[in-house]
Amino acid sequence: MNLLFASSNKNKIKEVQALMPAHIKLLGLSDINFTEEIAETAATIEGNAKLKAEFIWNYLKEHPSEIKIDAVFADDSGLEVEALNWAPGVYSARYAGEPKNDEANNKKLLTELKLQTKRNAQFKTVIAFINKNSYQQFEGIIKGAMAYEPRGKDGFGYDPLFIPQGYRSTFAELDFETKNSISHRGIAVKKLVEYLSL
């Protein structure tokens, strides 16, 4: 089956690709020559995941692809920090303003958390899936804590600041496979794959 991942984030695509079984061919937005940015205007992570998947599903109706696409899905993710009233959450990508910038986001987060000893947080991914018969959502959440300084070189986004529960390393200090096997995205993708294998 040909599954189109409606994301322009190369790191997300790499993580999702690594969890796809051989019978599912993962396509990206470049395979349908889509290069625009989809405005994420919903008020929730669920809403933005749905909005991105629906946008591309509808785009394909008007711009049919040469490759047969069986289904489309999108991933919207956010970091939720309890001491910040669960911010940045749905605003994670642009926490430090436009244009989106991972380093500026991490810097702002550390500033907001300065002198804060309550460090617990969670990462959440919602995958929105559409095919001609149905719409489904799959959620993945991993609990953890915020580091006091960026640590590690791997990963992307907030990975240098997030320490998953049960570990002492940040996501950026863990190797790719370890992060992917426990992460918010990994959990959501495994649910999607299970659904597709039923």
Residues 18-53, buried b or exposed e (16+ Cβ, 10 A)?
ebbeeebebbbbebbebeeebebeeeebbbbbbbbb
Q: Which residue from 55, 86, 156, 167 is in contact with ligand ITT, where contact means CB under 6 A?
A: 156
Task: Show the binding pattern over residues 40-69: x = contacts ligand ITT (CB under 6 A), - = does not.
Answer: x-----------------------------
Q: Which amino acid is at 140?
A: G
- Site residues for ligand ITT, 64-93, by CB under 6 A, read 75-78, 92-93
Out of 70, 75, 76, 175, which one is annotated catalytic? 76
Give the shortest CB-51-to-ligand ITT separation in angstroms.
10
Name which of residues 9 to 38 contact ligand ITT (CB under 6 A).
9, 12
Q: Is 180 in the site for ligand ITT (CB under 6 A)?
A: no
Query: Residue 71 is which amino acid?
Result: A
75/52 Cα distance (integer angstroms): 8
Residue nearest to ligand ITT (CB): 157
| 78 or 144: CB nearest ligand ITT | 78
Binding test (CB under 6 A) with ligand ITT, winner from 89, 140, 144, 157: 157
Residues contacting 86, CB < 8 A, separation 6+: 80
**C-alpha span between 117 and 172 (Å, rounded):** 22
